[in-house]
Amino acid sequence: LELDGHPERMDLPDTLAAAAKKQGARFVLSTDSHQPGNLPFMRYAVDLARRAGLEAGDILNTRPLTEFRSGLKRAATGGTRR
């Protein structure tokens, strides 16, 4: 699931992200950037993840590249990390 830090989006809400974590969901943080000036919005995505109680292991784009790719592959095939 994507946690979007763009101020005009700010989705998935932290309460839903916390519930999704309990069900074994994995996440990516994004900024929905369409220009370099939007990249600092990552701070908002990180804040949202923290409010949801997420840890680095729950967030695919904090993982080493091989683990990130493996997580994307599992997601594409409907697999979970459980």
pTM value surpassing 0.85: no
- Three-class SS state of 5: coil
Q: Does pLDDT of 81 surpass 60?
A: no
Residue with tokens 């939007």: 38
Across residues 8-27, what is the average pLDDT? 95
C-alpha distances in Å from residue 14, one per residue of 19, 49, 63: 9, 7, 21
Domain boundaries, the chain: 2-76
Q: What is the pLDDT of residue 77?
A: 84
- What 8-state DSSP symbol labels residue 8? T
- Three-class SS state of 80: coil
Residue with tokens 């005009």: 8
- CA–CA distance, 51 with 33 (Å, rounded to integer): 22
Q: Summarize pLDDT for 32-59 with one digit per residue, the tens.
A: 999 999 999 999 999 999 999 999 999 9
Across residues 12-41, what is the average pLDDT? 95
